[in-house]
Amino acid sequence: MVTDGLYIGPYADRAVRALGLEPPPMMWIFEWDIVTGDSAALDTIHAVSRNRVDEAVAEGADAVAGARRMRDLVASTEPATWRDPVLRQRFVDTLDYQVNLFETLAAYRTTVLRHTQWLDTGSADARDAWRAAAVDYAAARDEHLRRYTGDVDLPAWNFTAADLGLALAHRNEPMAWLARGLLVAVLAALAVGVSRRAPVGLRALVRLGRVDGEPTRLDRVLVWAVPAAAVVASRAVFTSFAGPAHLVLVLGAWLLFWFTLRLVARPADPFTLAAAVGGIALLRTVLLLAVLAVRGPGYYWFGFWTSPPARSVYVAAAFAAFLAVFVVAYLALRRRVGRVGAVGRVLVAVGVPMVALGGLVAVLGLERAMTLWNDQLALLPWGLSRILGITVHLEIPASLPVVVAAAGGVAIVVGVVLFGKVSEKFLKVRS
């Protein structure tokens, strides 16, 4: 009964390795009374036991039934037949606690297994079962906390991480619909931009900065407003509107890169530069939205944790699009400031966000920053930072933000030297 109540058998019976680590068999409960809600653990459990979900759900119900039988057997005895009636009552109270705990865990088990099953298959039956189980879990959790909070002999378990994960899970379907709407809007803008009758700004975005007409004031707004709106909206959907820490880093990096590049771009045409960078930003956004549109951010992370081929393809494509931002920025600058001057300006624009954001994380502390980020997105076990430390457990150097900031500083210095001296000579020769 204890094995069924505290372990998910189809997963616990297997030796599992994930991202170079060997997760423990009791992975959904973290050290030792924190019920987890992170996608890394729950998605991995489902990936291992996806063909035995019904069996895994039934184990929880079997554990509850066993606990109730034990409780009823003891409660049916006469107090007078015990040498110590107080001890009998302690037995009954303990078994009441076990029944209540296993009822709560069984409801949560059903909720998360059916939710990950929906993420995996898109089954409407799994979605309905997940939603129904979530209602049962909320009621059981509230009763558990009401009865046992503050009791040192029969302590209430910690469901903070579970509730964080479920709050995000309930947002997956609406986020998927938002992603679909955004994807249609972005693709429509790109399709319009292919037409020769489209505004010059949209045509320039599609052609990555190549201009075939005189831009109007509206065109100069379109080339930065359309990509900016797409980037902000898509990243907000990616975090389910619940991850400000992630948005600060991602959107902060974009803003610092663009404004720095715009500042050092002279005498290059800002319209051409904005169209080139904005066009790539739209293409990267299409890639992200295409995944989010399936079943929301939960599906994105489900594929990341459980499908190495899909993860490799997506990371390769996303990283290639990331590098393309710097390539198109260089190409847009090269005609006006020369090759060396273009390299220098791009290096400065890359270095500034590295210094600013690396310095920000260094001031906060890498462990604290990662804990804040993880608490909002529920990717790794919530208890990891509280007990073991994310950076310690995953062997992430605490000096990493300082290294990033230092590398950004070097990029700025090299870039200033390149576009401040060499490009000046180029411009004089050209004039």
**For the segment 298-309, what is each residue's pLDDT rounded down to a tens digit?**
999 999 999 999
Mean pLDDT for the stretch of residues 279-286: 95
Does the pLDDT at position 423 exceed 90? Answer: no
Q: Of 169, 192, 212, which marks where a domain is finished?
A: 169
Mean pLDDT for the stretch of residues 239-249: 96
Cβ(261)–Cβ(349) under 8 Å? yes
Domain that holds residue 291: 172-364+399-430
In a domain? residue 384: no
Query: Based on the domain organization, do 343 and 287 belong to the same domain?
Result: yes
Query: Based on the domain organization, do 88 and 66 belong to the same domain?
Result: yes
Please give the DSSP secondary-structure letter assigned to residue 29.
E
Please give the DSSP secondary-structure letter assigned to residue 52.
G
For residue 178 the two structure tokens come to 């938002």
Maximum average pLDDT range among 20-24, 80-84, 178-182: 178-182
Query: Based on the domain organization, do 53 and 84 belong to the same domain?
Result: yes
Query: Based on the domain organization, do 183 and 163 belong to the same domain?
Result: no
Task: Give the CB-side neighbour count of residue 133, counting CA atoms within 13 A.
Answer: 25
Query: Based on the domain organization, do 116 and 226 belong to the same domain?
Result: no
In a domain? residue 103: yes
In a domain? residue 385: no
Does the pLDDT at position 267 exceed 80? Answer: no
Q: How far apart are the first and last CA of the chain?
A: 85
| pLDDT tens digits along 369-378 | 999 999 999 9
Report pTM: 0.93
Does the pLDDT at position 427 exceed 90? Answer: no
Taking the CB of residue 335, how many other CB atoms lie within 10 A of it? 12
Total domains in the chain come to: 2
Q: Of 169, 184, 204, which marks where a domain is finished?
A: 169
Please give the DSSP secondary-structure letter assigned to residue 402.
H
Mean pLDDT for the stretch of residues 136-164: 97
Does the pLDDT at position 195 exceed 90? Answer: no
Name residues whose C-beta falls within 8 Å of residue 100's C-beta, 6 or more positions apart in sequence: 140, 143, 144, 147, 148
Q: What is the DSSP string of 311-333?
A: HHHHHHHHHHHHHHHHHHHHHHH
Query: Based on the domain organization, do 127 and 25 belong to the same domain?
Result: yes
% of the chain at pLDDT higher than 90? 84
| pLDDT tens digits along 114-135 | 999 999 999 999 999 999 999 9
Q: For residues 235 and 179, give the distance between their C-alpha atoms in angstroms, rounded to a whole number.
A: 10
In a domain? residue 369: no
Query: Based on the domain organization, do 134 and 255 belong to the same domain?
Result: no
| pLDDT tens digits along 23-33 | 889 999 998 89
In a domain? residue 138: yes
pLDDT of residue 213: 77
For residue 22 the two structure tokens come to 């060997």
Mean pLDDT for the stretch of residues 103-114: 98
pLDDT of residue 426: 52
Query: Based on the domain organization, do 204 and 103 belong to the same domain?
Result: no
Identify which has the larger pLDDT, 96 or 215. Answer: 96
Query: Based on the domain organization, do 259 and 403 belong to the same domain?
Result: yes
The stretches of 149-243 forming alpha helices (DSSP H) are 160-169, 172-194, 200-206, 217-238
In a domain? residue 123: yes
Q: For residues 48 and 12, give the distance between their C-alpha atoms in angstroms, rounded to a whole number.
A: 9
Does the pLDDT at position 86 exceed 70? Answer: yes
- Which candidate, 227, 237, 178, 208, places its Cα nearest to that of 328? 208
Query: Based on the domain organization, do 177 and 143 belong to the same domain?
Result: no
Q: Which residues pair with 35 in a beta bridge?
A: 29
Q: Of 169, 185, 202, which marks where a domain is finished?
A: 169
| pLDDT tens digits along 363-404 | 999 999 999 999 999 999 999 989 999 999 889 999 999 999
Mean pLDDT of the chain: 93
Q: SS3 of 1, please?
A: coil
Cβ(337)–Cβ(430) under 8 Å? no
Q: What number of residues does the chain have?
A: 431
Query: Based on the domain organization, do 312 and 354 belong to the same domain?
Result: yes
In a domain? residue 125: yes
Q: Lowest-pLDDT range, 70-74, 184-188, 336-340, 350-354?
A: 336-340
Please give the DSSP secondary-structure letter assigned to residue 13.
T
In a domain? residue 89: yes
Q: pLDDT class for 431, splitting at 50, 70, 90?
A: low
Q: For residues 33 and 155, give the distance between their C-alpha atoms in angstroms, rounded to a whole number.
A: 9
pLDDT of residue 428: 56
Q: For residues 187 and 207, give the distance between their C-alpha atoms in angstroms, rounded to a whole number.
A: 14
Q: pLDDT class for 57, splitting at 50, 70, 90?
A: very high
Handedness of CA 85, 91, 96, 99 (dihedral sign): negative
Q: For residues 431 and 427, give the distance between their C-alpha atoms in angstroms, rounded to a whole number.
A: 6
Query: Based on the domain organization, do 141 and 274 belong to the same domain?
Result: no
Q: pLDDT class for 52, splitting at 50, 70, 90?
A: very high
Does the pLDDT at position 311 exceed 90? Answer: yes
Q: For residues 32 and 11, give the distance between their C-alpha atoms in angstroms, rounded to a whole number.
A: 18
Q: pLDDT class for 430, splitting at 50, 70, 90?
A: low
